[in-house]
Structures are given as C-alpha cells and as structure tokens.
Structure 1
Amino acid sequence: MTGLRSRACLLLLLLLSVLAACDRAPAPVRFHAQGQPALLSEWGVLRVADRHLRLNEGVVPYELNTPLFSDYAHKLRTVWMPKGASARYSAEGAFEFPVGTVVSKTFYYPRVPGQAADSDVVVRSNSADGEFRDGGLDLAKVRLIETRLLVRRQEGWIALPYVWNAEQTEAKLMRGGELVALSLQAADGSREDATYQVPDQNQCGGCHGTDIKSKALQPIGLKARHLNREFDYAGGRANQLAHWQQLGYLRDAPAAGAAPHAADWRDTARASLDARARAYLDINCGHCHSPKGPGNTSGLWLDAATQEPLRLGRCKLPIAAGKGTGDRRHDIVPGDPDASILTYRMDSDDPSAMMPEVGRSVVHREGVTLIREWIAAQQGDCG
C-alpha cells in the first residue's frame, strides 16, 4: 500500500511539473550587446507557439501609413525597448532610440487555400488587413519568409537578416542573404514568378545608410509621419504615437493632430492624389533620393521635405544617360507618364534599369499606376 501511495504521489508530482511547464511564461527578450546570434529565437522577440507567430512581453506591433514595397510581401513590424527606456520624438527624422532597442520586421505571404504546406504558391495582394489577430499570425494561413532585426547597440545600429525554415519553427541568420523562389497568385488566379531576395548585411546598409557622409544605419519607417495612425491593439484601437507615449516608449511628442502625417497611398477617399503619390515616393525612394542620401548626386530628391519641382523631377534632365533612361529626356514630363524616366524605371524589372535597384524582383503594378496618374495630372510642358 505504501509503495502504491508513493508511486501515486510521484505521478502527481510529475503531472504538476508538466502543467507548471506549460503555464510557464516564455523567457524575456534578450538584448545582445555584442555578437550576431545564429538563431532568431536567441533574441526572444518573437516565438512560435500553437502554430502561431507571437510577440513576447513588451514587444509592440506597429504599422506604417504607407509601407515600402517588397515583392508584395506583407510585414509584421515590432519594436522593443529595455524597461524604463524610451525614444525621443522628432518631427521630421527617425526617432532617437535608446541603446538596447530591437526593431523587427517579419516578411510573409498569405497562403493560397488548398495549396500544400510546402507550396511555393502564395497570395499576391497589397493588404494585410486582419492577418495579425489575437496577438499573432496564424501559420496555417501565412508563410513566413524572413525576419530582419535592426538592433541599437552602443556603437550604433546593426542589421541582421534571419530566414525561416521550411517547418516555420525557427529562423537562421543568413549574413550573405538568400533567394526564395515564389509564385504570386492574384485574385483572378493568374500567377507571376518572383525571386524574393533576402538582402545580405551590406545591402541592408544600402537602404538604411540614409546619410551618405556618416554611412551609419538608421530606421526608415520609424518617423512621426509614417507612425501617426491608428492600430488595433489587444486593448482597443488607438493612435500609435499616443499609445507609445502611454507605454513609456516615446517622449516629447505632441498630440497626434499636431504631428506630421503621411497619407495612405491606397486611401482615395480621404487623401489627394498628390498626397498619396508623395507618400509612396517618400517611403520607397526618399531614403536614398534625398539631400543626404546615397542618391543625392542624381539631383532627384523624392523625400517628403523636398518641394522644389525641379528637384522632384519635373522637366529635370538626368545626370547620367544610358539604358536607365529608356531614351527619355526628363525624369518627369508633366501630363505624359510614358515620356517620363521615373515611371519607366519603376515599370521595369531589368536589373540595369529598374528602380528601386534592390528589394524587388517584380513590378508593383498598383504603385506604378498611382505614379502614372500623378504625372498625368500635372500641367505644363518641358519646352
């Protein structure tokens, strides 16, 4: 009898220990001040649980008014800061983030219903509405491709690209980048092949090195005009700037109504054609084509602050001729998108002519349509 009771007690203890392990909270986010961890899980920002990609405690999701185009990939963006730390608000540039900040951007595609789990066929769409639900992404409905980390260390920002495995359980650091073959399926069933490019660490610097003199990496989307919008948090819908302040993640910010606001490029009901086109060009091109960016020598500046028509490309002659011009004379010809170099390069998938040069292998058809409409609406001529 005593032996039976002992075994029963032992089984009960084992059961309790198993239940306790199930209820145990995940390990907290870990900031690595040095080195380049081989696995994404070593940071603890994101975790796979119950076939969902979930955020760890203190990790805050966010969206941009107009996102950067990346072969129609959808993106789950997050930010995490050490306890008690906060970012300093800036009206124009990227916020000043404290050492220890970890920014993540997970690129994924919706799965095509009925396709096998290992299928390369994914949905081609511009909208990710409703995919991030109950604090996570349902891996039965989406395919993870990569997660990029931007980490603020004492010496500055460092970019780390992690590629997800076929099982969707872990992402591995790929400093040399990766190519992922996909087939993008549109709503009408048509398909387009895409060679999705995970950038190597040097290519990350090509976009995030927004100051050609310092060459230091900086966030691109973490600016007031891009973040000033509402987000559906677990506790309800709220303005992102206000929510960050409430959490202690942001200081010195004005009320949302007094902060800059970029248009949603798709919002035809509330934003003008000019506002939508300028927002699109700003996020997709302005980090390079700006007075301080790597593309400043072109003389074509497409950032939000630039207002001079010639700098924006209107009747502007290209600095360098060649294949990239498509035998066109001006960057923008008012009223004539077919004669404009800008739309020619956006509508190309030729590596020697296309713009942007990295980050896409297919043409963003809807984006090209927007810029064509914007140019067509402009009046005047180039003489």
Structure 2
Amino acid sequence: MFRRLILVLALGMAACSPSEPTPQFHAVDTPRLLSEWGQVGISGETLRLGEGVVAYDLNTPLFTDYALKLRTIWMPEGMQAGYREHETLDFPVGTVITKTFYYPLAEQAGAVMRGDGHALIDAEGDLDLSRVRLIETRILVHREDGWAALPYRWNEDQSEAVLHRYGDIVPLTLVGTDGEAQDFNYVMPDVNQCASCHAPDSNTRIISPIGPKPRHLNRDFAYPGGPMNQLDYLTEVGFLTGAPAPADTPRNADWTDLNATLEDRARAYLDANCSHCHSPVGPADTSGLDLEPGIAHGPALGICKLPIAAGSGTGDRRHDIVPGQPDESILLFRLDNIEPDQMMPEVGRSTIHTEGVALIRAWIESLPGDCD
C-alpha cells in the first residue's frame, strides 16, 4: 500500500510539471518534427518524458552498435494493453512506442563511448544531454490500419529530431573502455527497413512491436516511486490488464548477469538479436533455424544442422553449430562479421558486438557432442 501511495504521488507531481511535453496520437498525418508527438521533449539540457509516458527496459536488448536506448510506451487515457504470455502485449489503437538511440560522450572531442545497452536515465525518466549525444528516435504508432514505423534523426544542436523516411548515415568515432577509437558509419534505417524488421510473421507481413513481450519486460525498473517490476507498474498505471504475478510470468536472463547460467544468457542473447527472424514464421523461416528461447537442443536450434541457403554466409563451414567448436560454426562466423553478404543480423549494425560474440563462443564451446 505504501509503495502504491508513493507511485500515485510521484505520478501526480509529474503531471503538474509545466515543462513536460503533452503526448499526441496522430491517427492519420505524420508530423515532420518529433516534438509534435509529445512523447519526449527538450527542456534546457534535459530530455524529458511526456506527461504519462512510461519508460521501460528489456532484460536482454538487441545490439545496435553499442548505442544506448531509451524506450517508452504511451496510450491515450482509458486504453489498456492485453497480456499475452509468449507474444508482444496486445496494444490498442492509439498506442505510441518510442526508442531513442544515444551514446555517452567521450573525452575526445566529437567522439562517443560504447554503451552497455541500458539507459542512462534518472528515476524521473530524464536524460542529461550534457553527458550524451542523441542520434535518432524511432516511433511505432498503432493506427486503425495497423502499426506504422517512423524514424526521426536528431539535429546537431540536439534541440529537435526530424523525420527521415529514407534513413541516413551518421559518421561516428566510437571509444571503447580501453580507450581505443573506432570510426564507423551508424546506419539509420529507412521506413522500409524498419518495417522489414518489425514484420515477424512472413505470412502476414504485418508490422508490430518486437521488444515488449512479457519475457523481456519481466524485470525491475527504477521508477519515481522506487524500483518496481515493469509488468506490475504497467498494471498499476492502467496500461496493462490480465498480467499474472511476475513469478508466474516467463523471464529471459540478462545476458550480462554472471549469476545466470551460460545457457540462459546465450539463449536470451540469441532470442533478442535473432529470433524475430529465425522462427517458424519469421522472415528467415526458409533457413530452418529457430532461435526462440523454448527450442530444445537439436537441428532446429542449429546444432549439427546443414545450411539451406546461406551462400557465402557459411564461411565454408558445414554446420550452423558444431558442439565444442565455435570456429567451425556458421552461427558464430556470421555474428563475428560485418560483410554485407555474410553478417547476421543483416541490418541494424555496422560493428561487431565483441562481448556478444564472446558469449556465444563460450556457449558453443560448452555444448556436448559432435557432428560426426
């Protein structure tokens, strides 16, 4: 009861703030400026959430060139999402989901630092712009005729983001924890590329969110009233109905959590980065590879499976996964690659996720058996 009181008070205080943006649902028109959506906005040197907008995070996020991501959900008053155990929450028409990509600033002028995947926001959902560089904000909006995916690029003075239907390329210098700098091109997807990734069913090709599934959301988050399970919080603020207790809800591991098993960490990583394509109905269904978290060890998971149509993407390796032999496994070859006809995922990154590759390498090394 005390936690709920704190939550209500915090939400009430936030609602009184004059500097908060006012969220809008644009049912037909598509604004040129991100600020017209009112989901996030600039106040001085702070990126603030709109009134009633809820930030969230994922247990294991998709890797995007070491960018950090601020994720938000908003629905018009009185609307709720329905709980679905193994699928994305059933969001109503009017829902707006955003994902803002940004990097911590490096000491080197004009350079940015590698992020660890989790947002640098405070308990109010604010982001200190003196510490970061904003790159883009992607919007998914649920309209009467379905979901629409819209990319917005932040300008140089970090005051506004502008719609870029055709994507863009942002040259960046990325500094690692060891101080080593790497120049690369951050590729901002166009509308069609956004749609291709967010159409997880190749039969319908219907666009939908990917991340807000119970197994990804079932974790604590630092809200204004204190840490709270995200599914419980969404229920408390009226955004979600029908969710069971967190203990009765599927939960993916955090791939960086060394207290979790290697198996759980690796499977969570493959789920977040690969399973939206590699599933029985996904865009990569013809590969015969299913990287969803519940798939048992065997050919469907790639173990001792012969490639079907990988072409040069095999790297002259014979099987997707060879137990105990990561360097003979196509899966690792494709993750540890940035050649357009060989890398996986095919879009969404221009760099190699060194730590993710090391995790999958260790997992493959741990697998028993052989392919003889």
Q: If the length of structure 2 is used for normalisation, what is the TM-score?
A: 0.93
Deviating beyond 4 angstroms after TM superposition, the runs of 4 or more aligned structure 1 residues are 23-27
The amino acid of 1:74's aligned partner reads: L
Asked if 1:242 corresponds to 2:236, the answer is no
Question: Does residue 336 of structure 2 align to residue 347 of structure 1?
Answer: yes
Alignment partner of 1:111 is 2:105: yes
User: Would you say the 8 A contact 1:52–1:138 is kept in 2?
Assistant: yes
Separation in 1 of the partners of 2:309 and 2:323?
A: 21
Matched, 1:51 2:45: yes
> 1:169-180 maps to which residues of 2 (within 5 A)?
169-180=159-170
Alpha-carbon distance between aligned partners in 1 of 2:209 and 2:216, rounded to the nearest angstrom:
12
Correspondences of 1:1-383 after superposition (within 5 Å)? 24=18, 26=20, 28-113=22-107, 115-116=108-109, 119=110, 121-128=111-118, 130-269=120-259, 271-383=260-372
Structure of greater Rg: 1
Fraction of identical pairs, as percent: 55
In structure 2, give the amino acid aligned to 1:65: N
For residue 275 of structure 2, what is the amino acid of its counterpart?
A: G
**SS of the residue aligned with 2:228?**
strand
Counterpart amino acid of 2:319?
Answer: H
1:293-316, Cα deviation, whole Å (9 max, x unpaired): 000100011112322511000000
Provide Cα deviations, 1:125-177, integer angstroms capped at 9, x if missing partner.
32546444543111110000000000001111000000000010000000000
* CA distance in 1 between partners of 2:141 and 2:309 (Å): 36
Amino acid at match of 1:193: D
Q: Secondary structure at the match of 1:184?
A: strand
Count of equivalent residues: 356
Equivalent position amino acid for 1:350 in 2: E
CA RMSD of aligned residues (A): 1.3
Tell me the distance in 2 between the aligned counterparts of 1:88 and 1:166.
Answer: 39
- What SS class does the counterpart of residue 323 from structure 1 fall into? helix
Given that 2:155 and 2:161 are in contact with CA atoms closer than 8 Å, whether structure 1 keeps it comes out as: yes
Mapped to 2, the partners of 1:130 and 1:138 lie a distance apart of 8
Distance 1:375 1:27 in 2: 47
2:10 aligns to what? none
**Structure 2 counterpart of 1:13:** none
Tell me the SS of whatever aligns to 1:382: coil
CA contact (8 A) 2:34 2:160 kept: yes
For 1:135 and 1:62, the matched residues in 2 are separated by 9
Mark the runs of 5 or more structure 1 residues left unpaired by the alignment.
Answer: 1-22
**Which residue of structure 1 aligns with residue 5 of structure 2?**
none
CA contact (8 A) 1:77 1:105 kept: yes
Describe the SS at the equivalent of 1:79.
Answer: strand
Give the TM-score, by structure 1 length. 0.91
How far residue 63 of structure 1 moved from its aligned partner, in angstroms, is: 0.3
In structure 2, distance between residues paired with 1:327 and 1:123: 35
Partner secondary structure for residue 311 of structure 1:
helix
Partner of 1:8: none
- Matched AA of 1:367: G
Q: What letter corresponds to residue 63 of structure 2 in structure 1?
A: F
- Cα shift at 1:235: 1.1
Structure-2 separation of matches of 1:321 and 1:94: 29
User: For the structure 1 residues 187 and 235, does the alpha-carbon distance in structure 2 shift closer, same or farther, using more than 3 Å as the test?
Assistant: same
Cα distance in 1 for residues equivalent to 2:142 and 2:310: 39
Amino acid of the residue matched to residue 325 of structure 2?
Answer: D
| Counterparts in 2 of 1:279 and 1:102: CA distance versus 1, 3 Å | same
Deviation at 1:253, TM superposition (A): 0.5
Counterpart of 1:148 in 2: which secondary structure? strand
Gaps in structure 2 of 5+ consecutive residues: 1-16
Contact 1:71 1:194 in 2 (8 A): no
